[in-house]
Every structure is written in structure tokens, then in C-alpha cells.
Structure 1
Amino acid sequence: GISNDTTVVFYGDKNNWWASYAFWVFQLFGHENCKLMDGGRKKWVDEGRELTRQTPSFPAGSYTANARADYKIRAYRDQVLAHIAADQPLVDVRSPQEFSGELLHMPGSPQEGALRGGHIRGARNVPWSRAANEDGTFKTADELRAIYEEEQGLNPSDNVIAYCRIGERSSHTWFVLTYLLGYPTVRNYDGSWTEWGNLVGVPIEK
């Protein structure tokens, strides 16, 4: 039932990781009317709001997909290599254990998906969860600026690439920098560590 002019509201679990990823994918195809429900399903449930197990039905919509505009918000391996060579900022949003190479995946998850551990050379480690409150909502703009700008030295004029393991956690950080802090040039490297950690000859630090 979605058409080009439909307002689509995304929400999910895990503080809206996958909701942010779905939002990002819709932006790749130029869907303008997208929103993210602050707090996701967790906050909705915690506040005792109504849930249902019924599957809704909508009349079919008419949708014309735009040509995908990857260059605006998506980074590929070769672009990451060029980013490193130009000494531009990379944000690794994984856990400190993944960043250091101690783990290949999130703590408590199967340690698989990459041959090598560590992080892309020169990346800052800012776990995605630092942008979220305990109730799943986003922190205020002032709190976010304190993390990304005062602590990590980012600037709104920077050309930023964010990455994680498969691109879902980094889409959360992409959303924060793009929509909550107004950074105009932020890209999500969705190949992330699953690609980088399996490549031969790319720069890796631990």
C-alpha cells in the first residue's frame, strides 16, 4: 500500500538499528517522506501502549522507484580506501572489543563473519549505543555534539564514513549525524567489517 507520496514510519527493536537501516535504504531510492519512531518498540511496550498480532491489509499502491543514489549516502571499499588516503574521518560504531580485535562480532554473539579482527586504520571508536538513552530514545543534540564534536573532534563540515559489521548499527549513527546533528556529508559503509575483515591487503589496526 505504499506510494511515492506515502509517509513511512519505521520502528524496531535494538534501539531502532534495523529501522534505521530500512530508513537508510528508502533514502537510497529517494523516498522523501520517511520518519523514525523515537524509542522504537521498546519504549512503546514500556509505556504500556497497545499491541496487536493482527496483520493489517491495505489496498495496493502505485510506486515508481527512483534510480538509486548510492554516491550520496553509501560508501564502497574503494571509496573507504580513498577516504583513508585523504585522512578523512571514519567512525567505527562497534563495541570496544570488536574495535580492538578481541572479538569479531558483538559480545554474546557467534564469533563469525570475518577472518581478521581489528578496525580500519585511523577510525574513531564511537559505539552506536552512546547516542541512545536507556529508554531507547535519542540523546539531545547538545549531548550528541558533546560526544561527536567535543570528544571525537568531528565537525559538521567533515566528510564522514560510518561502519560496523554489516551496516545496520552504522545506519543508526548515520541517522544521528545526518538528521539530528545536520551533517550534510555522511555515508554508511554497509560492506563494513564483514567485507573489510575478509579482504587481503587493506589497512587494519588493532
Structure 2
Amino acid sequence: MPKTSIRLLALALAVLTPAAVRAQEPVAARQAAAGPLVSTAWLEKNLDARGLRIVEVSVEPGQFERGHIPGAQNVAWHTDLVETVSRDIAGPDKFAALVRRLGIDRDTTVVLYGDNNNWFAAWGAWVFAQYGLVDNVKLLDGGRRKWEAEKRPLDTRSTEVAASRFEASPASPALRARLSDVLAVARKEQDEQILDIRSPDEFSGKVIAPAGVPELAIRAGHIPGSVNVPWGKAVNPDGTIKSPAELKALYAAAGIDGSKPVITSCRIGERSSHSWFVLSRILGYPVRNYDGSWTEYGNTVGVPVVNLAGTVWGGK
């Protein structure tokens, strides 16, 4: 082949190949080094990438409809991700139907985001993980708050995707703690650590729930042996998650360094899902989330309770 033709061919490959390859290769391969978080800049750049699904899981009603990340689909945590009659996570059939509707397969890269610094997006990641969708499920670092603060694009149009053929096996119990598990730790029958990520006033028993939130428990206080690191200490002012070094120091100060299994707990399991994500997906610690949390424990008859504030049922 003449040298001129070779040079033209090389030039064409240099110009065309990267775009062609980017259009064909799976998103998961392109972001292999991104870990469990993706940045707002990365997501905006890859909105149209093949093999990517963006899912909003927020708590404020109507927020998605007022404007969402382009291409995002909406998931209502209190109906889509749970069984609405029994207090439980979505069962295999319900979860499989949801994931098929979202067009998600086991090799799909999923970016979850939401309000409240990704509380319920992290809950979604925790539910997804129980059905084996772990490494390809990411959180948008900073969530909806950071996306909006940076004035990145929002859309009000519905997103239509081809349904997948996802099949779900029974949820794995490995990432979920039950009342019996935390009782075993409280009674020193099991060598695990309980991380209570509620506010200091909730932990001490001064209040049962945050201001403006319904009190769903009868008793106030915390599970014996648990330590308190409020979930918000793991995030920066812009809602992004702190660096691994900062996180390790934060939790080590409370005696949590990954040497023992950890159980995260809060009020109904959403804030503790955020801490579960930080500890397990970012730091790699062995962690289970206790989604029964204080709503279950604080209503259970005969369990040991530590109440530093001295509050009692029916008065102070």
C-alpha cells in the first residue's frame, strides 16, 4: 500500500476509532476504575452511553416530575422497593418486575441518585445488592443536590427503555441484620459491632425521631454496646462522600476499623443504608444493615435499652 494511503488510513483510525469504540464497548468496562461512585461530570459526559441506566430514588413527592437527570427513570422507595403490606424489602417477583421495567440486566451499569444526600438511593443500592446487583450499581456522588447546584441539565420527559429479561433468585441474607442478630450483640452473645448513625439526641434518648418526623417507636435510646457516628459526618458540605482516608479515621475514632463485622442501624433503615454503602462499598468492611432499626427495636417488648437522657415512656 502506498505511504500516502497508509497515512490517510492511520489518520482516519485516529479520528474515528475512539468514538466508534466508545459507542460499542460496555459502560462498565469504561469506568472500571470509578469504583462505587461516579461524579456528576462523569455522568453528564456519559448520559447517552450504551449499557447505562440512571435511576432516581428520592423521598420528596413530585420531585422527579418537576425535573430529573436526562434519561433517568423514577423508583418510589416506599412502593417499588418494599412489600407494601408486610414490612419487608421487595420480594423476588416484585424486584424482578421492577428491574425488567427499568431495562436492567446483570451486566448493566446502574447509577442511582436521589435527594437527602442519597439516603434512599443508598437504600436502593442495598436492596439491589441483596439480589446480586453489586459491582455495577453506583451512587452519583453528591446526588441530586450536587447535580442541581452545578446547574447541570434537567429534563421532564419520560424515558422509555426496552424491558430486560432479568430473573431474581431469593434475596441473600448476607447483607441484612435481623432483630435476633442485634439482640445477640446487645447480650454479648455475638462478637459484632453495632453502628448507630442517628443524631446524638436520638442516640441518647432525648428524642425518638428527628424534628418533624413521626415518632414510630415507644421507647427512646439505643441498643446496648452500639456506638454513635451520625451518617452526616461521612459527607462533605456539597453532599459528596469523604475520602477513604477521612472515612477510616472517622470510624476508627469510634472503634470501627473493619476487624469485626459491623451492623448499621438508624430509625427505619434509610440513613443506615448510606453508612452501609460507605463502610462496605468504599472501605470494604464486612457490614450488614439492620433495616428494622429503632422502629422495630424500640417497640419490642423486653429488649435491653440504654437511655442516657433519662426519658421514660409517657413523660420525662
Q: TM-score range by the shorter chain?
A: over 0.9
Q: Within the alignment, does 1:152 sit opposite 2:254 as a pair?
A: yes
SS in structure 1 of the partner of residue 264 of structure 2: strand
Mapped to 1, the partners of 2:133 and 2:167 lie a distance apart of: 10
Counterpart selection for 2:291 from 168, 171, 190: 190
Correspondence for 2:124: 22
Counterpart in the other structure of 1:174: 276
Q: Distance in 2 between matches of 1:64 and 1:88?
A: 33
State the one-letter code of the partner of 2:155. T
Partners of 1:19 and 1:124 lie apart in 2 by 24
Matches within 5 A, 1:76-87: 76-84=178-186, 85=188, 86-87=190-191
Task: Please report how far the alpha carbon of residue 82 of structure 1 lies from its aligned counterpart in structure 2 after TM superposition.
Answer: 1.5
- Structure 2 partner of 1:94: 198
Equivalence map 1:33-48=2 (5 Å)? 33-48=136-151
Question: What TM-score comes out, normalization by structure 2 length?
Answer: 0.62
* Aligned pairs (5 A) from 1:3-82: 3-32=105-134, 33-70=136-173, 72-82=174-184
Contact 1:4 1:64 in 2 (8 A): no
CA distance in 2, matches of 1:64, 1:5: 13
**TM-score when scaled to structure 1?**
0.95
How many residues were matched structurally? 202
The structure that has the greater radius of gyration is 2
**1:163–1:193 CA contact under 8 A, matched in 2:** yes
Q: 1 or 2 for the larger relative contact order (CA 8 Å, sep ≥6)?
A: 1
Output one character per residue of 1:58-116: Cα deviation in whole Å (capped at 9) or x when no partner: 1111111122111x110000011122223531100001111111111113323x10011
The Cα offsets for residues 171-206 of structure 1, whole Å up to 9 and x where unpaired, read as 1101111111111x2000000000000001111101
Of 240, 248, 251, which aligns to 1:137? 240
Residues 248 and 257 in structure 2, CA contact (< 8 A), matched pair in contact too: no
Please list the CA deviations of residues 102-142 of structure 1 after superposition, one character each: whole Å capped at 9, or x if unmatched.
111113323x1001110001110100000000100001111
Structure 1 unmatched ranges of 5 or more: none
Indicate if the aligned counterparts of 1:103 and 1:117 stay in contact, CA closer than 8 A.
yes
> Sequence identity of aligned pairs in percent?
52
Q: Deviations 1:141-185 (Å, cap 9, x if unpaired)?
A: 111111101x111122211101000100001101111111111x2
